[in-house]
Structure 1
Amino acid sequence: MKTIKIGGVPEHFNLAWYLTLKNGEYKQEGINLRWKDYFGGTGAMNKALRESEIDIAVILTEGIIKDIIDGNPSKIVQTFVKSPLIWGIHVAQNSDYNTIEDIRGTKAAISRYGSGSHLMAYINAENNDWNLEKDLNFEVIKNLDGAVKGLTDGDADYFMWEKFTTKPIVDNGVFRRIGNCPTPWPCFVIAIREEFLDTNLDDVKIILDIINNTTKEFKQIPSIDKTIANRYDQKLDDVREWLSLTEWSQELIDKKTIQTIQDKLYHLDIIPKKVDYKSLVYEIK
């Protein structure tokens, strides 16, 4: 049985992977798919792809595009979640900051440079007409636990992370959310190391077929809202809101969307150049 390693964030977006693994669907096809949670998010997964620690990543679209342009030898093979990611903008509960304008020029907690929390800080800054050179400062905190400590201890002033993932921390009175910042594009894609793609294309097709069959029907799974609420410590109303806002995809990200993302990242000076569509994607036929 062939072992294939995959990584993603330990969040409700990826429950479909957990369900298909639990059901043994990959093993029935002779594939030992090994999932690894990446609490550090996109930056940590980009590093894992580069170092062949994983073969496949379910990863933020803008983060993998930046890293492929920066030399990550991987390709996007599919959009996984086509709806935007809603980033909550959080401060410590006892912070004096109450609006997005209040945090202009303060220090953003980020999991690592090149991560979603780093890139979206630029998107938020531009949305609010900040000076990108003077009004953005960063403190690397590694993960969500690091953000809780960093904001509570005053090492950083605000933190951007997926709204529903951080909702329990807000409900518990550790963070306050002072705003939201949706990604202006599909949020998650599936990326695969090129070297792995070259030699394991048939296995990749099987894996994608299995996960796509599940995401197509995901919202119709009996009591899926209760399953998510229990597994991810979420309130049922929050889960239902999240499900109403979230749409999965079984298609390759299109050329126009790739161009839009590159235009934005280039404008913000996050990427040094724009590349052609085929440099970033691999079309599986």
Structure 2
Amino acid sequence: MKKVNIGGVPEHFNLAWYLTLKNGDYKKEHINLRWHDYAGGTGAMCKALRNKEIDIAVILTEGIIKDIIAGNPSKIVQTFVDTPLIWGIHVAHSSSYKTIEDLKGTKAAISRYGSGSHLMAYINAENNEWDLEKDLDFEIIKNLEGAVDGLTSGKADYFLWEKFTTKPLVDDGVFRHIGNCPSPWPCFVIAVREDFIESNKADLKTILEIINNTTTEFKEIPSIDKTIANRYKQQLEDVQDWLNITEWSQSLIDKQTIMTVQKQLHMLNIIPEIVDYKKLTCKL
């Protein structure tokens, strides 16, 4: 049986992977798919792909594009979630900051440089016409747990993270939500190491076929809203809102979207150059 390692964030977006694993769908096809949670997000998964700790990553679009251009020997093989990620902008509950404009020139908590929380802090600054050199400062906090400590202790002033994931912390009075910054593109893609694609194309196609069959019908799964609410400790109405605005994909990200992401990252000096579509993607 072929062993395959896959990584992703331990969030509701990836429940479809958990369900297919629990059901033994991959083992029926003689594939031993092993899931690894990466609470550190995109930066941690980019590192794991480079180190061959995982073969596949369910990862933020902008983060993996940046890292492939920086030398990560991987390719995007499919969009996973077609809709934008709604990044919530959060401060400590007791913070004096009330609006996004109040955050100009303060310190953003980020999981690591090159992470989604880092890149989206730039997008937020650009959206609000801040000076990208003078008005941005960063504190590395590694993960959501680190963000709680960082904001509560005052080491950092604000934190961008997926709105629904952080909602329980808002409900509990740890964070205060003061705005949103949606990603201007599909949020999650499936990226695979190039050497794995070359030597395991048939298994990879099988894995994608299984997950795509599940995401196609994900919203029709009986009581899926209650399952998500219970598993991820979220309010049922929040989960229902999230399901209403979220669409999965079963196809490869298109050229125009790849160009849109690159133009934005290049304008913000996050990537040094715009590269060809084929350098970033692989059609199976």
Shift >6 Å, 4+ stretches: none
Q: Distance in 1 between matches of 2:260 and 2:228?
A: 32
Q: Distance in 1 between matches of 2:214 and 2:229?
A: 19
Q: TM-score if structure 2 supplies the norm length?
A: 1.00
Letter in 2 for 1:45: M
Residue-by-residue CA offset, 1:144-198 (whole Å, 9 max, x unaligned): 0000000000000000000000000000000001100000100000000001111
- Pair 1:19 & 2:19 matched: yes
Which ranges of structure 1 fall in alignment gaps of 5 or more residues?
none
- Pair 1:250 & 2:272 matched: no
Q: Distance in 1 between matches of 2:77 and 2:271?
A: 21
Residue-by-residue CA offset, 1:92-111 (whole Å, 9 max, x unaligned): 00000000010100000000
Residue-by-residue CA offset, 1:176-232 (whole Å, 9 max, x unaligned): 011000001000000000011110000000000000000000000000000000000
How big is the shift at 1:140? 0.3
How big is the shift at 1:23? 0.1
How big is the shift at 1:3? 0.5
Which ranges of structure 2 fall in alignment gaps of 5 or more residues?
none
- Pair 1:90 & 2:90 matched: yes
1:181 counterpart SS class: strand
Partner of 1:72: 72
Partner of 1:110: 110
Q: Distance in 2 between matches of 1:35 and 1:98?
A: 39
Q: TM-score if structure 1 supplies the norm length?
A: 0.99
Partner of 1:274: 274
Q: Distance in 1 between matches of 2:9 and 2:152?
A: 23
Give percent identity, aligned residues only.
Answer: 76
Partner of 2:181: 181
Partner of 1:283: 283
Q: Distance in 2 between matches of 1:57 and 1:241?
A: 26
Q: Distance in 2 between matches of 1:150 and 1:93?
A: 12
Q: Distance in 2 between matches of 1:155 and 1:259?
A: 36
- Pair 1:204 & 2:204 matched: yes
Q: Distance in 1 between matches of 2:47 and 2:108?
A: 22
Q: Distance in 2 between matches of 1:105 and 1:282?
A: 40
Q: CA RMSD in A?
A: 0.3
- Pair 1:193 & 2:193 matched: yes
Letter in 2 for 1:107: K
Partner of 1:43: 43
Letter in 1 for 2:106: T
How big is the shift at 1:254? 0.1
How big is the shift at 1:136? 0.4
Q: Distance in 2 between matches of 1:101 and 1:254?
A: 34
- Pair 1:33 & 2:33 matched: yes
Partner of 1:100: 100
1:53-72 matches, within 5 Å, as 53-72=53-72
Q: Distance in 2 between matches of 1:38 and 1:46?
A: 10
2:269 counterpart SS class: coil
Partner of 1:128: 128
Q: Distance in 2 between matches of 1:260 and 1:238?
A: 30
Q: Distance in 2 between matches of 1:29 and 1:257?
A: 33
Letter in 1 for 2:78: Q
Q: Distance in 1 between matches of 2:175 and 2:100?
A: 15
How big is the shift at 1:10? 0.3
Letter in 2 for 1:167: K
Letter in 2 for 1:11: E
Letter in 2 for 1:214: T
1:184 counterpart SS class: coil
Partner of 1:230: 230
How big is the shift at 1:115? 0.2
Q: Distance in 1 between matches of 2:119 and 2:42?
A: 10
How many residue pairs match? The answer is 284
2:204 counterpart SS class: helix
Partner of 2:81: 81
How big is the shift at 1:238? 0.2
How big is the shift at 1:261? 0.5
